[in-house]
């Protein structure tokens, strides 16, 4: 079982990333928010889950341990496979997904492509009360750039100003790429990146 990869991003597309570890490239299917925060050459740690079916062997990856836990938890529901679980995590981050289950919010869950209202109600029926919210929410800190403490500081600063984690991560990665700022960030670059990311996020409103 492959439980975690630490290496560098070789390439990213709309549904997966290729992560190079020791000269081997692993194709990893990931939630859209995680993919949006990644760029080629980035050092990264990804929590993974290997799925073996009759016609394919697929490696799924997650920027946080919370996402992986939620991915596995969702598949305990009868009729929910890895594709739907990944769709849910591409629609809602793990903490909001767990909260939707706890609150019985079928409408929020049903926004995931491939699920529908009945599937959402089934997830709530089978998982409500069994998800440890403190475990999910406590491990939802940014992990897509675990070796870049400067970027984490910027993301935390943006989140303290009210921005969602996935939007903050994406803004940091974008401004670093657009302005040719090397990562991991050094302490001198943190204020500049924070200012640029705020400007980028404000433009996107």
Bridge partners (DSSP) of residue 18 are 11, 27
* Residues 116 and 106: beta-carbon distance below 8 Å: no
Residue 135 pLDDT: 52
Average pLDDT over residues 48-77: 91
Q: Is 90 exceeded by the pLDDT of residue 71?
A: yes
Total Cβ atoms within 10 A of residue 196: 20
Average pLDDT over residues 57-86: 92
Residue 145 pLDDT: 39
Average pLDDT over residues 106-128: 89
Total Cβ atoms within 10 A of residue 160: 9
Q: Is 80 exceeded by the pLDDT of residue 19?
A: yes
Average pLDDT over residues 69-82: 90
What is the chain's mean pLDDT, rounded?
A: 85
Whole-angstrom Cα distance, residue 39 to residue 142?
Answer: 16
Cα 59 versus chain centre, distance: 15
């Amino acid at each position: 079982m492959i439980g975690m990869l630490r290496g560098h991003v070789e390439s990213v597309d709309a549904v997966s990333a290729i992560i190079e570890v020791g000269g081997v490239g692993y194709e990893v299917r990931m939630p859209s928010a995680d993919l949006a925060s990644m760029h080629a050459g980035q050092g990264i740690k990804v929590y993974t889950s290997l799925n073996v079916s009759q016609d394919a062997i697929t490696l799924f990856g997650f920027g946080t341990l919370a996402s992986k836990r939620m991915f596995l938890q969702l598949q305990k529901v009868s009729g929910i496979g890895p594709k739907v679980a990944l769709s849910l995590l591409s629609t809602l981050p793990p903490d909001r997904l767990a909260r939707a289950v706890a609150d019985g919010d079928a409408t929020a869950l049903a926004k995931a492509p491939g699920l529908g209202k009945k599937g959402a109600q089934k997830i709530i029926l089978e998982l409500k009360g069994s998800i440890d919210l403190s475990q999910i929410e406590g491990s939802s800190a940014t992990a897509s750039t675990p070796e870049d403490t400067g970027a984490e500081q910027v993301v935390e600063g943006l989140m303290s100003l009210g921005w969602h984690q996935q939007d903050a991560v994406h803004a940091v990665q974008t401004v670093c790429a657009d302005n040719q700022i090397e990562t991991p960030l050094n302490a001198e670059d943190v204020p500049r990146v924070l200012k640029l990311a705020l400007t980028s996020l404000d433009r996107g409103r």
